[in-house]
A and B are shown apart, each in its own frame.
Chain A
Amino acid sequence: MTGPRRWHVRRRDAPFLALVALTLACIGGFLATGSDSPAGPGGGWRRIDRDALERRIEAGDLSGREALWYRAVEPARR
């Protein structure tokens, strides 16, 4: 190990360290605000639109009729 073993932070290094900190803050800011690219289908967080959901429930869209994927079958005969 040839590097110095202890920090020697002096006042005159403060501007340099401030620049380093600023750079890291900008990188952190970029990462924290996320990608500019749009989320793919189904990607990212979603928030339920409760009003829209309630409207659909009250309109009977989600109930009050048979689901599309059920089909009536012939009653079983003995």
Chain B
Amino acid sequence: MTRLPSRASLYVAFLVLGVYAQIAQALLVREGLVAFYGNEVSLGAFFGSWLFWTAVGSLAATRWQGRGEEALGVLRVVLLLLPVVLLLELGLFRAVRWVLSTAAGELVPLGQLLGSIALLNLPTGLAIGLAFPLAVQGLRLVERDPAGADVPGAVRAASALYALDAFGALAGGLLITFVLIDALGVWRSAALGLVGLGAVVAWLAPGARAWHAAGGIAAAAGVLLVVPAVGVALDTAMERWRFAALQPGLTLVDAVETRYGHFAVGRRGGQLSTVADGRVEGSFPDPEAARQDAAYYHSQADGPRRILLLGGVAGGLAAELLRYPLERLVVVQSDEQAFARLRPHLLADDRQALADPRLSLRFADGRQYVNDLSGTEGFDLVLVLAGDPASAQANRYYTRQFYAAVRRGMAPDGVLCTAVGGASNYFGREVQGYGASVFRTLGQAFAHVAVLPGDTQVYCASAIPGRVTEDPALLERRYLGMPLEEHRFPAIAFHSLLPAEHVRYTRARLGDPPGELNTDERPVTYWLNMVLWGKLSASGLVGGLERLRAMGPWPYLLPPALLVGLLLLRAANGTGSRARARREAAVLGLATLGFVAMAAQLVLLFSYQARVGFVFGRVALLNGVFMAGLAFGAGWLGAALAPRAAWALPALLGLVAGSALALPHVLSAVAGLDGTTVEAAYLGLCFAAGLLTGAGFPLAVDRTQRDTGNALRSSAVSQGADSLGGAAGGLLTGALLVPTLGLAGTSGVLGAAAALAAVPLLYAEYGPARLRWLAARAHPAFPSPAVVGALGFVVLFAGGMALLARGAAPGPQVRFDAGLLEAVSGATDFAERAQPFVHYVGLAPDGRAVAALGSEQLAAAVRGYGGPINLLVAVDEAGTLRGVRHLASRETPSYVAGIDDWLGRLRGQSLADGPLTLDRVDALSGATLTSRAALDSLSLAVRAVGPPAFGRSLAGQAAPRPPAWRQPGFVATLALLVLLAPVYRSGSDRARVVYLVAALAVLGVWLNTPLTEIDVLNLSLGQFAGLADNPQRWLLIAFAATSTVLFGPVWCGYLCPFGALQELLGRAGRLLRLRSYPDRSVETRVRFVKYVLLAAVLLVGWWTGETWRAAFDPMQHVFAGRWTGWVGALTVVVLGAAVIHFRFWCRYFCPVGALLNLGNKLALAGRFGPARRIERCDLGVTHEYDVDCIRCQRCVEGRDLGLPHHAPPRNGPPPILGGRRE
């Protein structure tokens, strides 16, 4: 018989779990870093996915709500399984590179990296997430509140466990960093979890033999694995397994886990390689390379006497440097333990060099060492060979502040040399951006920078002129002038290293466009390295990341702004209680706090690293202090404020917002403090960040508990929100926010997010419970409000992002490769000319000069249906068109389906007599406006290119177009719209039928101008025809928009030609007694399909930038006579179905109809329309603001209805229309 455990045992259990969770996380994150190169992308992915699964686990725990004893049982199972799962996960991390089939040296694509880490984190993250709410429920059971309904009790339990968890994490972090990794290694540390949690499970089940036995077995298994004979053997075997997966072809020589990371030495033949965190750092022996490097560095510094070498000791460089007449060589290494393991494998020369009295070896952080230089050391050569800036940590050796510190610490005429990966012959955009950033930043600190091109680019910089040089002859002279026993480097090779043409090209590329400045506040070079990595691994994410960067801070502010808007809407429409509004606002507030806390902590770590230097132990301390702040915040401050949560939570968010905005100024002030004080200041800031975040937790639990009345649910929801916010903070901050926005920009985003999150809290507490205008329209419209809310959020977010991306998008294509130019024009030998606009001049086989150019750069104002059209136009000196090709446009795909054939037929047309117009050539079938726009673009481009390419004009100006009021289509449309008012106001069914026939004839058969999904997409992106180009289109769109806002979807009911066609068929069907109505329960759900299609059309269109996927709507094709293929089949099905089911396409599938239907929720002037008799509606409309009314007004006279009237809706349940055939 299991008895209830004591409160103390639950407290201890949770403390142990906190310790364990931190150890497990540290072990797994190290595995992740080794498997995936250890940069901020993998770190962000790790913490983000860990917290995400924790949130999912927390929310999943709600199924044990109110089932106290069962919850305790599940908690024991979770605690028992956790250490077993950890051992499995460690094994999986070591096998992941097998699964991904990544060859040695190959980069894992970003998408595979993110996916793998997210999947591998699932088991442990989920289980840890489950444990917290289960423990809260267990604690309430022990405290005689099995239902968990008592508010203060629930807040107290959640706060206490949260605080214990944080303290446990602090202890776990310190243990793993300073004791376990060094003493036990990975596997034996993990096995300790079996011992600890096994014992805890046994203690949590007093009187239960089965649990005692299970806990005992787990603990015994743990002890067995910790025993050196077993544990060390397992460690060694797993190390070999991992190394074989990471570096196939290399044999493991030695490996060690240190507190700084993983270090290994591998062998292949006679070559040894050092591997740090899964990445090959270097290979040796390579005596020629070491000799060349030493000769180059010495020659650049012109015989240095004192050298500082940061990194790069293994390749024999130190020994080579010492062959020169030096006074002193200081070598700085950060990881003493790793160096001790490398030392026996160093070349004999290197080992000898280490014993040279001129060499002094220092174990310190390189950045810190440089920061502490006083200048009296007089280094006249500083070699920074700390590896590429592939992480924020490595990036510290490439910032303006670091270079400035080096300059202060070295001799005035000293030289700094550094090396990064480059490209030997060709600079793509990514290599250019990366190299140019290093080049520019170096140039900020030193006036003179010399470049050595190659696969590894070496930059040498000096403050005085004439010291560093790209002149191979000068380097050669300097080298030969050095008093060496033997000049072992062939000095003539300087000429091969620095061919003048190559150096010129490299310098030109590095300066155009200028690189971005890399600073401690905005460490951008490692971001550029990540972009390069993504490009080299063929990752599709790179483009997205770059687009995101171009958008600035808005992508990060858009989600909270939308969430706040939706919450306010929900709180004000009066459909829920005030308690619910408070809970939802509190959950958003806590998620924001989680986000801000995680991000702020990372900002502090970045700043600390840069200011004080990366000292691993101190960083662990900083994290520990943050955790202590969390614990005090939750256990003391938050718990004390919980009874006053109504104002305390928004006030806390306000305080956090203010603190975040002040953070850059505080950090600037801290930077001016002296050594000891600065460290104390950082510790204080970390504690404050933890305290504020921790205090929010009990406050949110209080607001949630008051609505849910259940301790498990409220703690689960709170932990879920906290973790999700933290996940977003972890994922975004290190990899995106800091490198792209800088510390100041990041702080601004954090402050704004916190301030936004306070708004719904204040409204929920002090705002009106309902706004009458909104409440009248709050009639639920869809089968599942939650699904619709999520869909709405996603669509609005995607729309906002699409607009931001459009704002940041590059201009039209203006540059083309030779192949395309030749293919379009038939000419060859094109030369590019950049002025006055980009164009090319080549030669045709008949000897005529040919000019080619992209038209949009000159004809951006010419618009088809969806904005400008970019054409590649080639014309010869006689004004004869040599070829045209369609490059890009946002026209309806069916309009441009045959455009290249049509453009191909224009070849040979002469523009010498005037521009091409539709008087001279036939229009593209069914696309008059597109054809006209294409011809105008083409003519404008030809007219513009004449003078720069051939020195004379080639084409005259187009004749002015007749004014809109003289265009028959415009006049007919205007008349139709004017006539709508009396027809609509009358409510007459007969008049409406006549009107539908007119709309079908004019807007469908004659003009083919229905309002389509392509229009919606183009309008959403601000792309539309010019007013002068297509006044009829403007008239229709403006009318549809205005009438929808004022009256609802009148367009659907009266003007849509495809709707009219369906309705006329449907009326015929009724006369033939074919009309049928599906059952309401089925019909209501099928109606939702059109909203899903609308969302899909928008999302896909915005995401891909293409519109063809939105071209499935038969109304885009039916009036152009395209009745073939799938669209033809669809048209037949839809029109056939419309005979039986009233407006089959409109009601169930039409995305445009779905959008316009939303106008029912506005209908600002609805009362000026005819009085609807909703109780007569045969289509299920039940409410004045029902979203599904298409304003057909058939209910007014009731002539075309197929079902009996139902009772007018009041407050009772809605009527269910039985399906039946008339």
Contacts and interface: CB of A to CB of B under 8 A. Distances in A.
Interface of A: 1-4, 6-10, 12-13, 15-17, 19-20, 22-24, 26-27, 29-31, 33-38, 40-41, 73, 76, 78
A71 B264 CA distance: 44
A73 B1182 CA distance: 85
B897 interface: yes
A2 B780 contact: yes
A7 B1148 contact: no
Given A23-B1134, A30-B1127, A8 B1079 contact: yes
Nearest to A20: B1086
A35 B1133 contact: no
A8 B1219 CA distance: 10
A4 B496 contact: no
A6 B1130 contact: no
B1133 A73 contact: no
B1076 A16 contact: yes
Nearest to B1148: A20
B499 interface: yes
Given A30-B1126, A76-B472, A22 B1082 contact: no
Interface in B878-903: 885-888, 893-894, 896-897, 899-900
Interface stretch (B554-562, B966-974, B1105-1113): B1105-1113
B1141 interface: yes
B269 interface: no
Among A1, A22, A30, A35, residue most surrounded by chain B Cβ atoms (within 10 Å): A30
Complex A-B, nearest 6 residue pairs according to Cβ-Cβ distance, in ascending order: A76-B495, A35-B1108, A26-B1130, A30-B1126, A8-B1081, A29-B1126
Contact of A9 (B888, B1082, B1108, B1109): B1082
A23 B1133 contact: yes
A37 B1108 contact: yes
A3 B1133 contact: no
Contacts of B1081: 4, 6-9
A20 to B, nearest CB: 6
Contacts of A40: 886-888
A14 B507 CA distance: 72
B1080 A4 contact: yes
Contacts of A7: 1081-1082, 1085
B820 interface: yes
Interface in B1090-1147: 1093, 1106, 1108-1109, 1111-1112, 1125-1127, 1129-1130, 1133-1134, 1137, 1140-1141, 1144-1145
B1219 A30 contact: no
Contacts of B896: 37
B893 A13 contact: no
A75 to B, nearest CB: 8
Contacts of B1086: 16-17, 20
B783 interface: yes
Contact of B820 (A13, A26, A41): A41
Contact of B1130 (A1, A2, A12, A27): A27
A23 B1126 contact: no
Interface in B478-499: 491-492, 495-496, 499
Contacts of B768: none
A3 B783 contact: yes
A8 B1127 contact: no
Interface string B997-1012: 0000000000000000
B270 interface: no
A27 B1125 CA distance: 11
Contacts of A1: 780, 785
Given A16-B1076, A41-B820, A31 B1109 contact: yes
Interface in B860-913: 885-888, 893-894, 896-897, 899-900
Nearest to B899: A37
A34 B1111 CA distance: 10
Contact of A10 (B476, B899, B1219): B1219
Nearest to B1130: A26
A8 B780 contact: no
Contacts of A34: 1108
Given A2-B1213, A19-B1144, A13 B1078 contact: yes
Contact of A31 (B495, B1085, B1112, B1220): B1112
B1141 A19 contact: yes
Given A10-B1219, A73-B501, A26 B1129 contact: yes
A36 B894 contact: yes
Given A2-B1214, A37-B897, A41-B885, A30 B1125 contact: yes
B780 A27 contact: no
A63 to B, nearest CB: 17
B1089 interface: yes
Contacts of B1085: 7
Contacts of B1084: 3-4
Contacts of B783: 3
Given A4-B1084, A40-B887, A76 B1129 contact: no
Given A8-B1079, A16-B1141, A29 B1129 contact: yes
Nearest to B1214: A2
Given A10-B1219, A19-B1137, A29-B1126, A38 B1082 contact: no
B1149 interface: yes
B1096 to A, nearest CB: 10
Contact of B893 (A3, A33, A36): A36
Contacts of B1126: 26-27, 29-30, 33
Contacts of B806: none
13 contacts: A1-B785, A2-B1213, A4-B1084, A4-B1216, A17-B1082, A20-B1148, A23-B1133, A26-B1112, A26-B1126, A26-B1130, A27-B1149, A30-B1125, A33-B1125
B408 interface: no
Given A10-B1219, A73-B501, A23 B779 contact: no
A17 B1081 CA distance: 12
Among A8, A20, A34, A73, residue most surrounded by chain B Cβ atoms (within 10 Å): A20
Given A17-B1078, A19-B1144, A35-B893, 7 more contacts: A17-B1082, A20-B1086, A20-B1148, A22-B1133, A23-B1144, A30-B1126, A30-B1130
B1087 to A, nearest CB: 10
A30 B1134 CA distance: 14
Nearest to A38: B900
A31 B780 CA distance: 32
Contacts of B1221: 12
A31 B782 CA distance: 26
A35 B1110 CA distance: 10
Contacts of A37: 893, 896-897, 899, 1108
A37 B887 CA distance: 12
Contacts of B780: 1-3
Nearest to A75: B495
Given A35-B893, A40-B887, A3 B1148 contact: no
Nearest to A30: B1126
B317 to A, nearest CB: 25
B78 to A, nearest CB: 34
